[in-house]
Amino acid sequence: MRKMAIQAREKLILALDVDTQEEVEGLVEKLADFVGIFKVGHRLFTRYGPKIIKVIKKKKVKVFYDAKFYDISSVVEKAAETVADLGVDMFTMHTLGGLEMIQRARKAAKKRNRFIKVLGVTLLTSLNSQVLEEELGIERNLREEVIHLANLAKKGGLDGVVASSYEIEELRRNFGNDLLLIVPGVRPKGSKKDEQKRVLTPRQAIKRGADFVVIGRPILDSADPVRTAKRILEEIED
C-alpha cells in the first residue's frame, strides 16, 4: 500500500498559482509529502525571478519551471542553459517555436544537467477547435495539430510533451512510451472547470496514459489542501 502511495505522489504536480513567497513556502512545507513536483509559472517567476526556484529547492523537493519559452533559437538556447543551472527538474518550451529551437534548447540544457526533463507544450488547454481555426488560422483539427507538434517534440529529442487529457490516448497510440505525457487542466470530481476547455479527472487522465497530472486551484482554494491532495492521490490510485 505504501508503494502505491509513493507512485501516486510522484504523478501529482501542484501548480503554485499564488502571489507571495510566504504562500509558496507554506504550501511546500504542508504538501511535500503528498505532491511529487511543484510547478512555478509566469505569475511567480515574474514577481520573484530565479529566487523563488531557489527557495523551493531548499525544501528538497522537485521543481517544474513552466517557462513556455518561445523565441528565436539562440535566445531560447541561452535561456535553457540558465534554467538548467538553476537546478530545476523539468521545464517547458513551445513546440510551435520549431525544430531548430527545440534541438538547440534541449542540447544546451542537457549539457548543463543531463538529468533535466525538457518538455514541449503542444496546444494550451484553454484552446478549442474553433479558436484554432477562426483565430489562429490553423487548418488541421485540434487533435491532428497536437500530434503534429508532439512529433516535432520527439524529432527534436524532447523528453515529453504537455497536452490536454483528451489527447492522451491519441498520443499513446502514435508514440507509445517514447514521450512523457504531462497533463494540465485536470480537475478532481466535483471541481469547477474554470477557463479550461478540455478537462478530465485525475483518475481518468492516469487511466488513459498520463504520466503526470497538473492541478492548481482545486488544491490551492481548498479549505484543507492536505485533505484535498490526499483525495486526489486516492483518485489516482483507484
- Provide the 10 A C-beta neighbour count for residue 58: 10
Query: DSSP alpha helices (H): ranges in the chain?
Result: 2-11, 21-31, 42-48, 50-57, 73-86, 99-112, 129-134, 142-155, 168-175, 202-208, 217-220, 225-237
- How big is the chain, counted in residues? 238
DSSP at 36: S
- Please name every residue paired with 231 in a beta bridge, in sequence order, or none if there are none: none
Provide the annotated active-site residues: 68
Distance between CA 153 and CA 123 in Å, rounded? 12
C-alpha cell at 211: 504520466
Helix (H) or strand (E) holding 116, with range, is none
Q: Is 36 exposed, middle or buried (0-12, 13-18, 19+ CB in 10 A)?
A: buried
Q: What phi and psi values does residue 13 have, to the nearest 5 degrees?
A: -110, 125
Cell 511546500 belongs to which residue? 28
